[in-house]
Amino acid sequence: MLKKISILFFFCSCLNLFAQEPLHLTVKDGLPSNHIYDVLEDKDGFMWFATNRGLAKYDGASFKTFTIKDGLPNNDIWLLDRDYKDRLWYFSKSKYQGFIKSDSVYKFKTNNNTVISPIVYFGNNNIYLAEDDFYEFDEQQIIALNIKSDWVNLQHKLDEKSKESRAFYNPVNKIFIGLLKDKIIFFDSNFKKIKQVNINFSTRELRYKDFRRSILTSNNLLLFYFKDFYLCIDSKKLSIKVIRYRDLELGNTSSISLLKATKKTIQSTLDNNLLIFDKEFNFIQKYKFSEDLNFKRAFLDSKGSVWLVGKNGVYYYSKQQLISNYYLEKKATKKIGVFNKKLIAGVEKEGFYDVKNEYIRKDLSTKGTSIYQIKDNLVVSGFESYFCNKNKLELLTFKSLSETYYSGFKDFIKKDDVFLSLTSMDISKFSNITKLGKSLQRKSGLVEIELFKNEVYAGGSDGLWLLKNDSLVKPNNTNPIVNASINHIEKTNDFLVISTDGLGVYLHNKEQTILLKNTEDLIIQKTQKVGNKLWLATQKGVVEVTLNQQDLANSKITNNFYDADGLLQNNTNDIYVEKDTLYVASDIGIAKINTKNPIYYQKPKLYFKTKKDTLSFSKKARDNISITFGLQDYTNQEYVKYEYRLLPSQEKWTTTQTKILNFSNLSPNNYQLEVKATDQHFNEVIKAQHINVLPNWWQTIIAKIGFGLFGVLCFIAFVQFTKKQIRKKERSKAQLDKKIAGLELQALRSQMNPHFVHNSLNAIQYFIQRNEVELSENYLVKFSKLIRMFFEYSRKQNISIKEEINLLDNYLQIEKLRFEEKLNYAINVDKNIDIDEQMIPSMMLQPIVENAVNHGLFHKKENGFVKILINKIKENSFQVIVEDDGIGILKSKLMHNNSSKNYESKSTMVLEERLELLKQSNDWEIVYKIQDVSEIENATGTRVTLTFNQPKLWK
């Protein structure tokens, strides 16, 4: 039997209702005081708060406080503003006012030492302060303009016309403005009337007592607000504009309106409203907030978020909250889905609601019970379930064979002409026609049933079941899903999508069961497949998975939505996706989000908490380098992943859980620290900080070059020293070798003397035996002279050619006496040879001449002739030819081949040894050649040729 359906309508305004609680910041979060006078955003997006305990800068994670210790004139800062250079000015009751730049405090003194608590005017690229007088800032000090007397005089003149009047001065274009009860008059600096504008108010006059406060904008608009209206005076056009509060649906106001001009807007806080105007003071938007927040100043930042400040700290509404719609606040909404072409929400212990656009209607009334399903034109609760039949709602009631009536289920499906249903105790089958049925099997713990590929699946706390022959059996599968706790089953064309209680999502069919690995730690209450996207309602917000058909198991999570994105809470119960709109049900209501809103695709704003782009570290500081970075985000500090790398030493990204990075023992180098921030929507940004690790003096390039040069010089010195030692040893060895060679040469020369002496003594003996006394005496004289020469020359390495010729001449004379005039000789010297200067190895030629006499001429019967020629070849080079006309070397060898007294062989061997020793001494290069004359011409004899070269010039 159908019950009556009562309908309840609600209206919600997106400007007036913010279901999600604002972020509340107090001294517990780092504020220096809960008493906040003003709030402002600087050019870099940081939020600043003026308090009675100093200035506070906020980045979304922590506060940085500035006080007297940092340079403020006092800690009671009550006003903030930005000038044309984007400097953030602070104002207090003091003779000093100033601004903050790069986290440094600058302050400037009034030139007359006057303590002021100013109203601030910006214009004409300058800043003006007004109290009893006007002041101008000249970048060095705050200078009084000394127009107080002119101002007072004008006020007196206006008072004469009306006691309800007020005089104002515009320092930008230097005009005075008089406000009277029915008109506004413009005067130049000489009080000459420029223009008059009449005012006609139907309900009240322009009266001084209703005046609250004024500001001057950068485009020269002078704004006043009174008890019931705003007055805007354009000082350029000399025109006015009036905006009544009632036209803005504000009603009666009780508080003072606070005006603040930004680069793009003019903002006014009035009662519990934030009013936004454009630069020409045209109304744009109104935000209304709860009186319970007890705030005095509201501010809309550049990101579209709102800050509320007062005596209870700071309240913050993110843009995500402001643009999101919320329904059924504080109601435990368990299910959401389409039923009878309407979006239906199921509220625990209340019933089903129709959610459409911005209206919420209670549509299906039930007794307090659990909500189980909204699907396929069916709504299922623990007490009543409804079926949509031809756009009419029918209460589903079935009668079992035991006469028991059923109207409350957990889930049911229709297969052919029967309904299969789940209750808390069993699975039953009912006829669609007779409404009669029976319990198929007692089974508790089942939560959902689904028809897939003409097979019936059921899932619950003890896993997945298959209905065969009216009995529940486990699928023939060893996958953990068979016994895992299941929360939800959704069918698609190819798979059953199975949501588990902590083990992730599985895709199941007869052929395979696939775990989506990136979801395996999630508790999933509901899934919805839209195209290739699979949306998940989890305990960690809403997750979007993009299915990779080539590798389903490794399908990636491509988006996440959390409370920071506008959800009422992260622990979600159900979702419904319609195009780009996401509805999320939770225990405190429903959130509606546009998933394609650009706000979700803005890159995180990462920054380093340093004042320089390049940081330099030297000495001990480089052994423990600490770099701090921050994220400028006031809603989403929790869901951002951070990675870093230090180039060039580290190429791979390293994940970090902290915003303080420490590096130790870095080698001297220029480094680039890169930090990457990736938010839940996979927007990422990379910020770089340059680090210059300075070397110790001995590690500098100059020092290294110096060390290198020193090392090279040391190496060169070592090499030179080594070479010097080697040369010294070589010289010593050469001298020793030379000395040895000299001794050997001397020994060789001494070997020749006995040979000659033996022949000479035989000759003397021969003369004595023949009683030729005079000839013997002559022979002895010549012999003794020659012996003296031998002794003298044998001590020398070299002698002159002249000395060598004298030696040869004496020797040949003696031999001529011995041969009794059968021997003749001739010595010819090239005239180009200086016989006194040109040297020759001592006694080099005598053995050769001796061989010519004894072996060449001795065996000749006729007279013999020895010819000695000395010819110059070139500088330090000459040639000596010793030639005889004897029997020749070939015949001599034949005759003495078997002789034991082979003098020729010995003298030749000695000569060759001496030539080799001379070559080793590097003093002479001598080429020795002996030829038989018969091989050269038609004659007999022997020719010996010696070519002398001096590598060094002997002096």
Q: Are 225 and 266 in contact (CB under 8 A)?
A: no
- Please report how the helices 701-769 and 773-793 are oriented relative to each other, as an axis angle in degrees rounded to 10: 170
Measuring CA to CA, how many Å separate 453 from each of 495, 509, 510, 744?
A: 9, 9, 9, 118
pLDDT tens digits, 536-592: 999 999 999 999 999 999 999 999 999 999 999 999 999 999 999 999 999 999 999
476 has which bridge partners? none
Do 799 and 884 belong together in one domain?
yes
**Domain count along the chain:** 4
pLDDT at residue 408 in the model: 64
**How many Cα atoms are found within 13 Å in the side-chain-facing hemisphere of 890?**
9
User: Average pLDDT for residues 922-944, to the nearest whole number?
Assistant: 87
In a domain, 704, yes or no: yes
**Which amino acid is present at 554?**
N
Helix (H) or strand (E) holding 765: helix 701-769
Q: How far is CA 655 from CA 644, 658, 678, 910, in A?
A: 7, 9, 11, 91
Nearest CA among 880, 900, 896 for reference residue 888: 896
* Domain's final residue, options 271, 306, 324: 324
Residues 733, 812, single domain; the answer is: no
Instruction: Give the domain range for residue 186.
Output: 23-324
The Cα 607–Cα 631 span in angstroms is 6
Q: Look at residue 5 and tell me if it is in a domain.
A: no
> Do 689 and 772 belong together in one domain?
no
Distance separating alpha carbons of residues 373 and 547, to the nearest angstrom? 26
Rounded Cα distance, 596 and 587, in Å: 25
273 and 302 together in one domain: yes
pTM given for the model: 0.71
CA distance 383 to 344: 17
Q: Residues 328-373: pLDDT tens digits?
A: 888 999 999 988 788 888 888 887 888 865 445 454 544 556 788 8
In a domain, 351, yes or no: no
Report the C-alpha gap between 644 and 629 in whole angstroms.
11
- DSSP symbols for 582-630: EEEEETTEEEEEETT-GGGGPPP-EEES-S-SEEEE-GGGGGSEEEEEE
The whole-chain average pLDDT of the chain stands at 84
**3-state DSSP assignment of residue 692:** strand
Torsion of CA 319, 323, 328, 334, to 10 degrees: -80
* Tokens at 438, concatenated: 């029976």
Q: Could you tell me if 729 and 874 lie in one domain?
A: no
**How does pLDDT run across 706-757, given as a tens digit for each residue?**
888 888 888 888 888 888 888 787 777 767 666 665 555 555 555 544 656 6
Shared-domain flag, residues 116 and 182 = yes
Residues 834-840 have a mean pLDDT of 89
Q: Are residues 868 and 923 in the same domain?
A: yes
Same domain, 186 and 260: yes
**Rounded Cα distance, 245 and 684, in Å:** 45
CB-based contacts of 206: which residues, under 8 Å, 6+ apart? 164, 179, 180, 181, 182, 199, 226, 231
> Which position has the higher pLDDT, 479 or 742?
479
The answer to whether the beta carbons of residues 233 and 271 sit under 8 Å apart is no
Distance CA(254)–CA(272), nearest Å, equals 10
- Answer yes or no: do 148 and 281 share one domain: yes
CATH number at 304 reads: 2.130.10.10
CATH number at residue 652: 2.60.40.10
Q: Which of 324, 351, 371 lies at the terminal end of a domain, its last residue?
A: 324
Neighbouring C-alpha atoms within 13 Å toward the C-beta of 133: 17
Residue with tokens 């775990």: 515
- Contact of 835 with 793, CB cutoff 8 Å: no
Read off the pLDDT of each residue in 52-74 and give the average, rounded to a whole number: 95
Ramachandran quadrant class, 566 (left: phi over 0; alpha: psi -120 to 50; beta: rest)? left
> Which whole number is the average pLDDT over 17-27?
80
Question: 277, 298, 324 — which closes off a domain?
Answer: 324
* Neighbouring C-beta atoms of residue 890, cutoff 10 Å: 14
Residue 310 is assigned to a structural domain of this protein = yes
Distance CA 657, CA 665 (A): 22
29 vs 49: CA distance, rounded Å: 14
Strand (E) or helix (H) holding 113: none
**Coil, helix or strand for 857?**
helix
**Residues 666/693, Cβ–Cβ less than 8 Å:** yes
- So what's the pLDDT on residue 904? 46
pLDDT tens string 271-328 = 889 999 999 999 999 999 988 999 999 999 999 999 999 999 999 999 999 988 999 8
CB-based contact 889:930 (threshold 8 Å):
yes
Burial class (CB in 10 A: 0-12, 13-18, 19+), 943: buried
Same domain, 315 and 251: yes
Asked if the model's pLDDT at residue 441 lies above 50, the reply is: yes
- Among 54, 141, 130, smallest CA distance to 97 is for 141
Of residues 829 and 434, the one with the higher pLDDT is 829
Q: 833 burial class (0-12, 13-18, 19+ CB within 10 angstroms)?
A: middle
Beta strands in 698-744 (DSSP E): none
| pLDDT value at 26 more than 70 | yes
DSSP 950: -
Cα–Cα nearest to 692, from 635, 767, 610: 610
pLDDT at 35 over 80: yes
- Domain of 887, CATH number, reads 3.30.565.10
Q: State the sign of the Cα–Cα–Cα–Cα dihedral 807, 845, 751, 893.
A: negative
- The pLDDT of 435-455, averaged and rounded, is 87
Closest CA to 244 of 231, 261, 258: 231
pLDDT value of position 387 = 72
Within a domain: 532: no
664 and 801 together in one domain: no
Instruction: Give the model's confidence band at 2: pLDDT under 50 very low, under 70 low, under 90 confident, else very high.
Output: very low
Q: Judge whether 369 and 380 are in contact, CB under 8 Å.
A: no
Alpha-carbon span 867 to 402, nearest angstrom: 161
Residue 422 and residue 449 in contact, taking contact as beta carbons nearer than 8 Å:
yes
Task: Write the DSSP symbol of residue 11.
Answer: E
- Which among 615, 607, 576 is positioned nearest to 592, based on CA atoms? 576
Residues of the chain with pLDDT > 90: what percent?
40
- Residue 1: pLDDT band (50, 70, 90) is very low
781 and 864 inside one domain: yes
- Among 196-200, 254-258, 574-578, 588-592, name the one with the lowest average pLDDT: 254-258
Taking the C-alpha atoms of residue 165 and residue 211, their distance in angstroms, rounded to an integer, is 10
Q: Is residue 537 situated within a structural domain?
A: no
Burial per residue of 72-87, b for 16 or more beta-carbon CB atoms within 10 angstroms, e otherwise = bbebbbebbbbbeeeb
Residue 550 lies in a domain: no
CB distance 268 to 256 below 8 Å: no
In a domain, 472, yes or no: no
